[in-house]
Amino acid sequence: MKKKSLPIIILAVLGTLLFLSIYNAMGFQAQPAQTHDENAVAELATSQVTRSEDESGEEQTSEEFVQMTEDDHGRAEEYDHPIHLTFDDGPNAATPAILNELKKYYYKATFFMLEPQMKQYPDLVKRIVNEGHAVGLHGVTHVVDTFYGSEEVALQEMLDTQDTLYDLTGVKSTLVRTPYGSIPYFTDSFRALFDEHELKLWDWNVDSEDWKGGDYLNNVTTQIKKVEENGQIPTIVMHDKEKTADQLSDLLNYLSKHEFTPVKIYEDDEPINFKCNDRCSYRN
């Protein structure tokens, strides 16, 4: 009886050992598979949440970074060296290059646009708004004798431009810049009528003279220093021109290196107006 049971015992022991061997092998292989799944999830999460460092050196998730760059930089009073970049006479074929350069630096500007140009380039008007820039009114004709022919004509040009901008973007802007600036043509009677319609007149205190077609960087940087010394926010007038766009990168690089922060103009910002001297009795 004992001799017959010995093979059975041996077989039982071998079967048990085989079972344990298979079980352990299966358990050993399952662990790496689970680790692989966890790694895959971690890699996916990492790919969806990139990180970057802001100026303070703190990390930001991609969602936070996108939110920061899509929004404007805030109000001028929040910075030590705020500056307004303004562009007149657009939009046109040069505007995309200007927008592209601004986007590289996450800078915001203000575009004073002509109504015929807005009708010709409606997609650019929408892009300007969608990328967080401010939009203002520059009139219709840009002809001195026509625009300043009467107070009513000047007002109607701005109201027509305002309506077109609203139709295209849903934005009702009250920021205006008159052709060639407010002095000497925009006298008290014009100002009074514009005030009645709550239109806010913006001139500038830094003239790039980019319309001359030359190098405007040195001209602008010299004026910026003087304006800051006088306690004003530099407000640069430029134009939607190809040569302006070509040199814009140099200007933006200068501003970045010297810690200027370009911010857009808000509806309730205090406007920069030319000195009236003996021509008119209006705010500075």
Residue of 88, 203, 210, 240 marked catalytic: 88
The yes-or-no answer on residue 88 being catalytic is yes
The yes-or-no answer on residue 239 being catalytic is yes
* Bridge partner residues of 85 (DSSP): 236
d(CA 206, CA 189): 26
| CA contacts within 13 A on the Cβ side of 111 | 31
Residue of 84, 133, 142, 239 marked catalytic: 239
Neighbours of 182 (CB within 10 A): 24
Helices (H), the chain: 2-48, 62-70, 95-105, 115-120, 122-130, 144-147, 151-169, 188-196, 217-229, 242-257
Neighbours of 141 (CB within 10 A): 16
CA separation (Å) from 202 to 42, 199, 207, 269?
53, 10, 13, 10
Catalytic residue numbers read 88, 239
